[in-house]
């Protein structure tokens, strides 16, 4: 999740406006005091409602729920997410693995995408996520109910998932970011393998954005050639994240630094991530349809993206360190 802060910004502004009016008391003397108070209260409520509605709309980015054509990326790896929220299906003769459950409202779309590709949603045996934010994990409870899939989550994200977001270090006290608490069936640790049939996925802990943010790695075979796939967990420093003196997450800056070194060490041919925008989903999909070389094979795009994100982090950290002096 990278953009949800807008709701709180607007609410904050609305509250400030109301407080300001109360303090100055500069309304016209045409009204008696009780009438003025009623007008003021009604205005505040209206401003608040408008702010919440505007914020809620902004928070649910339109492309998060916009259908995207499901397609095969390479080998037994398929794209089944929306335009904005990336989800992947890994198929095996023993059933399938789904990565990212997205919003609960997106679950029917995920199901339809999987079935459109000719697979059965009910064959989803394992459910994985990139990290414990509602735009990637809020649909997990529903998918577990519908398919009976085993839910496997990186250790440090487990309390967040099982509390429905309440134990998130940044968003835990913000009701708009919470979701149905979901029981985890297997707790993963850094470097653990998830196996189904002849497919192996490796869970790499890439923390910072969340404490258990996970980058998934696997190999696919296409045309007799093996490719290393990296599905990047979010490397973003979200607006409002405190990198210095963060009481809820004291090691946050060190964790991001660790993430850069992990990401730079991973061999990557096929570059993917938990939002389509990370790896130019729409552009690459258009090129894929045109034929020719598979555009998702993009090792230099991966290196460039990681370098950009590291630079953004360094800039933000330097800024926050300076401000804390």
Which residue lies nearer to Zn ion by CB, 136 or 284? 136
- Per DSSP, the three-state class of 230 is strand
Min CB(209)–Zn ion separation in Å: 6
Distance CA 64, CA 100 (A): 13
Alpha-carbon dihedral sign for residues 277, 216, 296, 303: positive
Q: Are 20 and 47 in contact (CB under 8 A)?
A: no
Helix (H), strand (E) at residue 316 = helix 299-324
Strand 124-128 vs strand 95-99: parallel, antiparallel, or unpaired?
parallel
Q: Which is nearer to Zn ion, 133 or 309 (CB)?
A: 133
- The burial of 222, by beta-carbon neighbours within 10 Å (0-12 exposed, 13-18 middle, 19 or more buried), is given as middle
What sign results for the dihedral spanned by CA atoms 158, 141, 69, 66?
Answer: negative
Q: Please report, in angstroms and rounded to a whole number, the separation of the first and last CA atoms in the chain.
A: 29
In the complex, the smallest distance separating the C-beta of residue 275 from Zn ion, rounded to whole angstroms, is 9
Nearer to Zn ion, 133 or 144 (CB): 133
> Residue 161 Cβ, how far from Zn ion at the closest point, in Å?
13
By the 8 A CB rule, do 7 and 57 touch? no
Q: Among residues 140 and 234, whose Cβ is nearest to Zn ion?
A: 234
Indicate the residue among 234 and 259 with the shorter CB distance to Zn ion.
Answer: 234
Other C-beta atoms closer than 10 Å to the C-beta of 180 total 16
C-beta of residue 259 within 8 angstroms of C-beta of residue 207: yes
Q: Which residues bind Zn ion (CB under 5 A)?
A: 1, 133, 234
| Among 204, 233, 235, residue whose Cα is nearest residue 316 | 235
Least Å distance, CB 234 to Zn ion, is 5
Instruction: Please count the CA atoms within 13 angstroms of the CA of 291 that sit on its side-chain side.
Output: 0
- Cβ neighbours of residue 273 closer than 8 Å, sequence gap 6 or more: 86, 130, 231, 232, 233, 234, 279, 305
Cβ 268 to Zn ion shortest distance, Å: 21
State the minimum distance, in angstroms, from the CB of residue 188 to Zn ion.
18
Could you tell me the smallest distance in angstroms from the CB atom of residue 251 to Zn ion? Answer: 18
89/213 with CB nearer Zn ion: 213
The nearest distance, CB 252 to Zn ion, in angstroms, is: 14
């Amino acid at each position: 999740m990278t953009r949800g802060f807008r709701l709180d910004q607007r609410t904050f502004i609305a509250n400030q406006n109301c407080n300001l009016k109360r303090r100055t008391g500069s309304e016209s003397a045409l009204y008696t005091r009780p009438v003025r108070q009623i007008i003021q209260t009604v205005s505040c409520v209206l401003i608040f409602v408008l702010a919440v509605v505007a914020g809620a709309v902004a928070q649910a980015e339109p492309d998060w729920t916009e259908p995207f054509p499901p397609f095969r990326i390479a080998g037994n790896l398929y794209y089944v997410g929306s335009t904005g929220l990336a989800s992947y299906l890994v198929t095996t003769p023993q059933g399938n693995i789904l990565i990212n459950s997205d919003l609960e409202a997106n679950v029917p779309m995920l199901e339809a995408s999987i079935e459109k590709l000719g697979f059965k949603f009910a064959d989803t045996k394992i459910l994985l996520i990139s990290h414990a934010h509602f735009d990637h994990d809020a649909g997990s409870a529903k998918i577990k109910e519908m398919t009976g899939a085993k839910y496997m989550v990186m250790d440090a994200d487990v309390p967040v998932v099982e509390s429905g977001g309440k134990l998130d270090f940044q968003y835990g006290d913000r009701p708009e970011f919470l979701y149905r608490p979901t029981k985890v069936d297997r707790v993963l640790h850094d470097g653990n393998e998830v196996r189904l049939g002849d497919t192996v996925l490796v869970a790499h802990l890439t923390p910072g954005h969340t404490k258990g943010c996970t980058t998934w790695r696997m190999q696919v075979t296409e045309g007799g050639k093996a490719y290393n796939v990296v599905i990047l967990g979010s490397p973003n420093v979200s607006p409002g994240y405190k990198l210095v003196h963060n009481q809820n997450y004291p090691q946050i800056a060190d964790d991001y630094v660790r993430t850069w070194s992990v990401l730079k060490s991973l061999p990557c041919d096929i570059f993917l991530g938990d939002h389509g925008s990370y790896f130019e989903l729409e552009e690459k999909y258009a090129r894929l349809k045109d034929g020719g070389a598979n555009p998702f094979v993009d090792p230099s795009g991966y290196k460039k993206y990681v370098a950009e994100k590291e630079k953004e982090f360094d800039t933000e950290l330097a800024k926050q360190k300076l401000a804390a002096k």
